[in-house]
Amino acid sequence: MIYLDNSATTPIDPEVSKAMWPYLTEEYGNPSSKYYTLAENAKKAVEEARTHVASLLFCEPDEIIFTSCATESNNFVLKGVAHFYKDKGKHIITSKIEHKSVLETCKFLEGEGFEVTYLDVDSFGQVQLETLKKALREDTILVSIMWGNNETGTLNDIPALSQYVKSHYPNAFFHTDATQVVGKIEVDLSKTPVDFLSLSAHKLYGPKGIGACFIRKRELGLRTKITPLLHGGSQENGYRSGTLSVHNIVGLGKAAELAKLNYKEQHQKLMELETYLVNKLKDLFPAIQFNGHPIDKIPGVLNFTIPNVSNELIIRSLKDQFAISTGSACSINEPSYVLKEMGLNAIQIRSSFRVSLNKYISQEDIDRFCICLDHAVKSLSI
């Protein structure tokens, strides 16, 4: 099986599973317990992981809190800000192509009386600063715009968008869903003035079921207050109660450490493989259209349309040898709203594919994929 659906999830790096194993076996202490070694070991492992995540993002370890996934981080920030600051304003801004965990949370908040503006994107799927400027208001309490899109890999200019919001509307918070980009492009929070950021381990060769949320400290080191999603034992400084999932946290920490260590080499490799794949696809399918931004993109993520084929039939015909997808695994039952917002029609959407590479893929894998895709397209064209 050649796995080309790494935007859905990545395989776990063997170094990550190795680092996790002791915390699934002999090191089972609860990091919140006190005074004995087993608990201290768990606590030390958690804090070491926190340091690795912070180092990857260029922030302070105590600005990172662990959650169960990016869906939780997104819910936590959007609901947490809305509920805590509702007396300051009830207006939220997001974009039309966010992940469902942002869009559905916004819908939920609309049901509670918040007003949400959903920004249009251009034909590359990017939010333009001018569009954001027109939507901002004095009662805007939160702007949530994703850093990289999960279906196309297109990047938003989050440094510029957040800079504008923070310098013109200092009372509005800025959140970015960076789930698809962390570990793949440079995310430097010392230069990017976002207040909140969401991420998930399983997109960067870590385990499923563990995410994190960056919460920027305010002036004088004060914590930004928001209403927690989970109430209970006040773990994670009261932001997120619940016994910490030590093995998963260690896995996320290791994944972050490896991402930081190998970033340049992996980035280069994925860029080269992507160019190789693009050229092969162009040769095989002269009518192919690539969706998303050609340069401002996550390396190794491609979305393309091959006219006159059904993506579902092709993907099914390749399923035992290759894993590719029609788009997001999180809204699989409906045609892509992301491509629709970028201007594709229903027929084009049904002929569109997402191929997302990982650090283990070789040129030979891509050669094999292209041969089989070509064969499938020839035999299944409609």
Verify binding: residue 63, ligand PMP, rule CB under 6 A: no
211 binds ligand PMP (CB under 6 A): yes
| Interaction between residue 146 and ligand PMP (CB under 6 A) | yes
Binds ligand PMP by CB under 6 A, chosen from 6, 95, 105, 150 = 150
Neighbours of 273 (CB within 10 A): 20
- What lies within 8 Å, CB to CB, of 18 at 6+ separation is none
Stretch binding ligand PMP (CB under 6 A), from 84-92, 175-183, 310-318, 350-358: 175-183
Residues 101-120 that bind ligand PMP (CB under 6 A): 101
- Whole-angstrom Cα distance, residue 4 to residue 370? 12
Q: What letter would DSSP give residue 154? A: B
Which one of 15-23, 167-175, 177-185, 289-297 is the stretch in contact with ligand PMP (CB under 6 A)? 177-185
Catalytic residue among 59, 213, 330, 372: 330
Is 251 in contact with 210 (CB distance < 8 Å)? yes
370 as an active site residue: the answer is no
**Interface with ligand PMP, residue 182, by CB under 6 A:** no
Contact segment (CB under 6 A) with ligand PMP among 68-76, 114-122, 312-320, 342-350 equals: 68-76
User: CB of 159: closest distance to ligand PMP in angstroms?
Assistant: 18
Position 176 contacts ligand PMP (CB under 6 A)? no
174, 216 Cβ separation under 8 angstroms: no
**Contact call for residues 77 and 127 (beta carbons, < 8 A):** no
Q: Counting contacts by CB under 6 A, is residue 52 touching ligand PMP?
A: no
The 312-351 contact track toward ligand PMP, x by CB under 6 A, reads -----------------xx---------------------
Q: Binding of ligand PMP at residue 197 (CB under 6 A)?
A: no
Distance CA 349, CA 326 (A): 9
* Tokens found for residue 48: 């070491």
What's the rounded Cα separation, in Å, for the pair 274 and 15?
25
77 vs 84: CA distance, rounded Å? 10
Question: What's the full length of the chain, in residues?
Answer: 382
Give the catalytic positions in this structure: 330
